[in-house]
């Protein structure tokens, strides 16, 4: 039994290099393992820490060591402790920050099991009820009820605890506490429905490959490359069933729970209580219970967004990544992990199958994963026809052809989706007199008008202020509103088309702020006979609506204008995914794409539904430029309040970085964000491990007061 615990205290400080040794008192030695949680003295603080190693002795000598203060219930499975160690180095983060990703949800808050008191009649109690024991009428009624109903929760008995305790003291009843599961509302407990579909030939082939890989117990990774509506979910479901049959666990990653309730409910319907759902919108109690059900092996499938990749599932056999192109898989706080990359690593370690699916996969997945193809829609339907609408000569936001198509939809009582990837009323506000543009005081960006709230708001930092009545520079009351956002589009389309039999729905981040709102809007649109769903990219996620015959994309170039090497593939995916919502179920679909750049590759290929063609060209471009998967990217951003500090720090970092196998670009200034100046370095490397190690070393020592550094490996 080990006398020394090596502990990583959970602190956010970057400069500490743990783990630290603690002496275990005799009585703890048998129970403390790797993954155990301890409260340890650390300097003058007491911190929660995770045991990451055990040893017989310490280099410091046992007499100089401190002992843990206490143990904490719950622990982290050993494989997740190791996964956290890998994440810390893979993403240039710290062990403490990485470990906080894998902690049981209750560990920090002291949130415990919810229990209830249950009363059961004892043999003595039954005898007392039959014989002549002295009982008050009330006690007699109570015992009779237990005799008839079996164990009953104390809260349902309508007597005070004193009465129960007295009966317990006389040995007439037994009281026990049992834990109660706080089931998330969308988990319908117990329901299991068998698959009634007949798989298409290509679905069958894909399922057979997945089964073989799971049976082989060797790591494998496949890309399920299926057009929109080809029935990828059914393949995931059957692969999951196969993993369960081999007594192995399953993780299913979905982009965002609020936007993908259909996938979640199909898993729950098929597998019932075996499914646990983990996501940030659960209450703390629900999350605790779901996590424990997985930890104890009562649930063997975990469905959730990116953080579900850390689900405590033993003997993992399958990880599904649905809509693998979705950018929500990348975490935007330190550690800036990519759940797809973590999933690949975890599957590798566990000898599990990684099954990533998409109609518009990332070029890196297309190039590196073994492909299983589903070339046609499962219902036999055709993909919609896509028309490119040239806006160069158009006036106003809607081209005549688009307006006509919407009018026709209104007359025929059909359903449509209009995508405009910009929320708010208008993009920015300016003074007609002096030209002033209202900008964010904290960031170098314009404020966006939100009419319903009478506010102008920054979409980067959340700053908001009241809509000005006049210009504070020149006093003019003539203010101009530029551009079009979803809020105003909804207003205008409602005026033009709306009616009792033709409802309009809006879905964007402003609507979806409340829990469950996004799902509710999607459900209402799904159930409506006719109408239009207006929104940002949220409307183009994997929804399976029946009977949408018209899709419209306004300003398809908006995403193309981003100065980012992924701008084209994002635009392609957005258009192809929107087209994918159209023409399902009955009839043909039609999609109109309004653009100023009708010959851009992303738009031309999307109009032809040619993912493979687009990706092939995209990979050639990436190879020429040394971008992933032909090179590794690491982005370092320095930020500081004081002007010039961020740039100086980035220059200093550049001096420190000596990597033979990499090219370092920058420093380049970035726009000011949240009151901080920023500068960036971009590293293009051929040797990932060497570059990550060099960056880790370079950022380990401080770069001056007030300078913050963030490292992003595989930036998005």
**Binding to ligand ADP, residues 55-94 (CB under 6 A):** none
Structure token pair of residue 714:
């595989």
Residue 19 has φ and ψ, to the nearest 5°, of: -75, 165
**Site size with Zn ion, rule: CB under 5 A:** 15
The answer to whether the beta carbons of residues 271 and 192 sit under 8 Å apart is yes
In the set 33, 345, 401, 436, which binds Zn ion (CB under 5 A)?
A: 436
Q: Which residues between 362 and 381 bind Zn ion (CB under 5 A)? A: none
Provide the minimum distance between the beta carbon of 234 and ligand ADP in the complex, in angstroms, as a whole number: 4
The span of 19-27, 232-240, 307-315, 497-505 binding ligand ADP (CB under 6 A) equals 232-240
Q: What string marks each residue from 369 to 408 as x (binds ligand ADP by CB under 6 A) or -?
A: ---------xx-----------------------------
Reduce the DSSP state of residue 97 to 3 states and report it.
helix
Q: Which does 233 bind (CB under 5 to 8 A by kind): ligand ADP, Zn ion, none?
A: ligand ADP
Q: Which is nearer to ligand ADP, 449 or 533 (CB)?
A: 533
Shortest distance, position 550 Cβ to ligand ADP, whole Å: 19
Tokens in use for 481? 């509103």
Which one among 32, 84, 294, 458 touches Zn ion, defined by CB under 5 A?
A: 458
If one counts every other C-beta atom within 10 angstroms of the C-beta of residue 297, the result is: 13
What is the CA angle 599-602-605, rounded to 5? 85
> What CA–CA distance (Å, rounded) separates 158 from 148?
16
| Residue selected from 78, 181, 281, 460 as contacting Zn ion according to rule CB under 5 A | 460
Nearest distance, CB of residue 527 and ligand ADP, angstroms: 15
Shortest distance, position 236 Cβ to ligand ADP, whole Å: 8
Give the orientation angle of helix 688-700 with respect to helix 78-90, to 10 degrees. Answer: 80
Q: Which is closer to ligand ADP, CB of 363 or CB of 542?
A: 542
Contact indicator for 65, 22 with CB cutoff of 8 Å: yes
Binding status of residue 442 toward Zn ion by CB under 5 A: yes
Residues touching ligand ADP, count (CB under 6 A): 17
The smaller minimum CB distance to ligand ADP, of residues 288 and 584, is found at 584
Rounded Cα gap, residues 400 and 708, in angstroms:
51
CB 525, min distance to ligand ADP, A: 16
CA distance to 629, 635, 685, per residue, from 713 (Å): 13, 6, 11
456, 448 Cβ separation under 8 angstroms: yes
- Give the residue with the Cβ less far from ligand ADP, 264 or 640: 264
Shortest distance (Å) from residue 473 CB to Zn ion: 5
Distance of alpha carbon 159 from alpha carbon 210, whole angstroms:
56
Three-class DSSP labels, 352-367: CEEEEEECCCCHHHHH
The rounded distance, in Å, linking the Cα atoms of 128 and 675 is 76
8 A C-beta contact, residue 511 and residue 550: no
Using the minimum distance from each CB to ligand ADP, give the nearer residue, 269 or 544.
544
Residue 211 CB, nearest distance to ligand ADP (Å)? 16
Tell me the CA distances in angstroms from 248 to 236, 266, 270, one per residue in order.
15, 20, 17
Place of tokens 């590759």: 601
Query: Among 544, 577, 222, 230, which residue's Cα sits nearest to residue 375?
Result: 230
Q: Which two tokens stand for residue 31?
A: 């129970």
With CB cut-offs between 5 and 8 Å by kind, which of ligand ADP, Zn ion, none does residue 232 bind?
Answer: ligand ADP
Name the token pair of 409: 């939809």
Between strands 464-466 and 455-457, the pairing is: antiparallel
Among positions 332-361, residues that touch ligand ADP (CB under 6 A) are none
SS (H, E, C) 204-271: HHHHHHHHHHHHHCCCEEEEEEECCCCCHHHHHHHHHHHHHHCCCEEEEECCCHHHCHHHHHHHHHHH
* CA distances from residue 474 to 425, 430, 432, 446, 480 in whole angstroms, order as listed: 24, 12, 10, 19, 14
Specify the stretch interacting with Zn ion by CB under 5 A; choose among 241-249, 288-296, 403-411, 456-464. 456-464
State the minimum distance, in angstroms, from the CB of residue 653 to Zn ion: 26
| Helices and strands of the chain, counted as H and E runs | 20, 30
25 or 435: whose CB is closer to Zn ion?
435
Match 């207006």 to its residue by tokens.
Answer: 534
DSSP state of 631: S
- Pick between residue 30 and residue 197 the one whose CB is nearest to ligand ADP: 197
678 binds Zn ion (CB under 5 A): no
Q: In the complex with ligand ADP, which residue's Cβ is closer, 233 or 242?
A: 233
State residue 371 phi and psi, 5-degree precision: -95, 135
Phi and psi angles of residue 462, each rounded to the nearest 5 degrees, phi first? 90, -5
| Closer to Zn ion by Cβ: residue 438 or 572 | 438
CB of 329 to ligand ADP, least distance (A): 17
Output the smallest distance, CB 389 to ligand ADP, in A: 25
Query: Which CB sits closer to ligand ADP, 12 or 192?
Result: 192
Please answer whether residues 92 and 715 qualify as being in contact, where contact means their C-beta atoms are separated by less than 8 angstroms.
no
Tokens of 278: 């983990």
Beta bridge partners of 276: 302
Cβ-closest position to ligand ADP: 231
Minimum CB separation from ligand ADP for residue 323, in Å? Answer: 8
Using rule CB under 6 A, residue 231 touches ligand ADP: yes
Is residue 237 a contact point for ligand ADP (CB under 6 A)? no
- What is the smallest separation between the CB atom of 427 and Zn ion, expressed in angstroms? 15
When asked if residue 670 is in the footprint of Zn ion (CB under 5 A), the reply is no
Nearest to ligand ADP of 348, 379 (CB atom):
379
Per DSSP, the three-state class of 333 is coil
Q: Does the protein bind ligand ADP through residue 232 (CB under 6 A)?
A: yes
Shortest distance, position 464 Cβ to Zn ion, whole Å = 9
Binding mask 191-230 for ligand ADP (x = CB under 6 A): ------xxxx--x----------------------x-xxx
234 binds, among Zn ion, ligand ADP, none (CB under 5 to 8 A by kind): ligand ADP
Stretch 461-490: interaction string toward Zn ion, x if CB under 5 A: x-x-------x-xx-x--------------
How far apart, in whole angstroms, are the C-alpha atoms of residue 189 and residue 96? 36
- Does residue 434 belong to the site contacting Zn ion (CB under 5 A)? yes
Measured from the CB atom, the residue of 461 and 682 that comes closer to Zn ion is 461
- Answer whether 243's CB lies under 8 Å from 274's CB: no
- Rule CB under 6 A: which of 521-550 touch ligand ADP? 542, 544
Nearer to ligand ADP, 22 or 545 (CB): 545
Binding site for Zn ion (CB under 5 A): 431, 433-434, 436, 440, 442-443, 458, 460-461, 463, 471, 473-474, 476
Binding site for ligand ADP (CB under 6 A): 197-200, 203, 226, 228-234, 378-379, 542, 544
């Amino acid at each position: 039994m080990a006398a020394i615990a090596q502990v990583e205290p959970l602190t956010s400080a970057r400069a500490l290099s743990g783990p630290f040794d603690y002496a275990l008192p005799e009585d703890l030695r048998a129970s403390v393992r790797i993954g155990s949680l301890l409260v340890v003295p650390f300097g003058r603080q007491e911190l929660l820490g995770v045991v990451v190693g055990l040893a017989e002795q310490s280099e410091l000598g046992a007499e100089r060591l401190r002992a843990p203060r206490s143990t904490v219930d719950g622990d982290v499975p050993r494989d997740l402790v190791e996964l956290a160690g890998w994440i810390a180095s893979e993403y240039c983060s710290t062990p403490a920050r990485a470990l906080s990703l894998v902690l049981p949800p209750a560990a920090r808050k002291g949130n415990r099991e919810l229990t209830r008191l249950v009363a059961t009649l004892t043999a003595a109690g039954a005898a007392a009820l039959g014989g002549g024991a002295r009982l008050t009428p009330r006690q007699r009624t109570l015992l009779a009820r237990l005799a008839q109903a079996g164990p009953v929760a104390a809260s349902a008995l309508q007597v005070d605890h004193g009465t129960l305790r007295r009966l317990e003291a006389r040995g007439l009843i037994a009281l026990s506490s049992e834990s109660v599961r706080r089931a998330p509302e969308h988990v319908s407990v117990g329901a299991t429905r068998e698959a009634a579909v007949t798989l298409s030939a290509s679905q069958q082939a894909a399922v057979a490959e997945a089964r073989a890989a799971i049976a082989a117990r060797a790591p494998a990774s496949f890309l399920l490359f299926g057009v929109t509506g080809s029935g990828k979910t059914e393949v995931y479901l059957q692969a999951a069933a196969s993993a369960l049959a081999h007594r192995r666990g399953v993780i299913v990653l979905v982009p965002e729970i609020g936007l993908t309730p259909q996938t979640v409910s199909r898993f729950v319907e098929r597998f019932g209580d075996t499914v646990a759902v983990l996501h940030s919108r659960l209450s703390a109690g629900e999350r605790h219970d779901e996590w424990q059900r997985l930890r104890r092996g009562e649930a063997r499938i975990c469905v959730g967004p990116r953080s579900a990749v850390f689900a405590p599932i033993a003997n993992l056999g399958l990880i599904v990544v649905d809509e693998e192109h979705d950018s929500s898989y990348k975490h935007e706080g330190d550690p800036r992990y990519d759940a797809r990359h973590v999933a690949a690593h975890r599957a590798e370690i566990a000898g599990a199958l990684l099954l990533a699916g998409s109609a518009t996969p990332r070029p890196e997945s297309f190039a590196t994963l073994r492909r299983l193809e589903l070339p046609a829609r499962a219902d036999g339907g055709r993909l919609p026809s896509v028309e490119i609408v040239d806006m160069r000569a158009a006036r106003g936001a809607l081209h005549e052809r688009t307006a006509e198509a919407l009018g026709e939809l209104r007359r025929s009582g059909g359903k449509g989706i209009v995508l405009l990837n910009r929320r708010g009323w208008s993009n920015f506000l300016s003074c007609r007199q002096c030209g002033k543009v209202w900008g964010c005081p904290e960031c170098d960006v314009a404020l966006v008008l939100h009419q319903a709230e009478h506010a102008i708001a920054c979409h980067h930092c959340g700053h908001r202020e009241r809509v000005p009545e006049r210009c504070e520079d020149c006093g003019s009351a003539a203010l101009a509103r530029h551009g079009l956002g979803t809020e105003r589009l909804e207003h205008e389309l409602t005026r033009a088309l709306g009616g009792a039999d033709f409802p309009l729905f809006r879905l964007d981040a402003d609507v979806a702020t409340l829990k469950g709102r996004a799902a509710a809007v999607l459900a209402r649109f799904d159930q409506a006979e006719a109408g239009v769903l207006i929104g940002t990219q949220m409307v183009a996620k994997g929804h399976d609506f029946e009977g949408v015959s018209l899709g419209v994309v306004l300003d398809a170039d908006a995403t193309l204008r981003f100065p980012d090497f992924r701008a084209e593939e994002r635009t392609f995916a957005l258009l192809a995914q929107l087209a994918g919502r159209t023409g399902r179920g009955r009839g043909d679909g039609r999609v109109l794409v309004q653009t100023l750049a009708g010959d851009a590759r992303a738009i031309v290929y999307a109009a032809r539904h040619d993912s493979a063609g687009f990706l092939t060209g995209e990979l050639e471009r990436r190879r020429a430029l040394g971008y992933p998967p032909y090179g590794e990217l690491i982005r370092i951003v320095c930020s500081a309040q004081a002007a010039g500090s961020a740039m100086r720090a980035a220059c200093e970092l550049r001096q420190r970085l000596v990597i033979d196998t990499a090219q370092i670009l920058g420093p380049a200034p970035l726009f000011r964000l949240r009151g901080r100046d920023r500068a960036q370095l971009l590293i293009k490397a051929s040797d990932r491990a060497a570059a990550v190690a060099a960056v880790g070393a370079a950022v380990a020592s401080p770069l001056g007061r007030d300078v913050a550094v963030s490292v992003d490996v595989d930036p998005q």
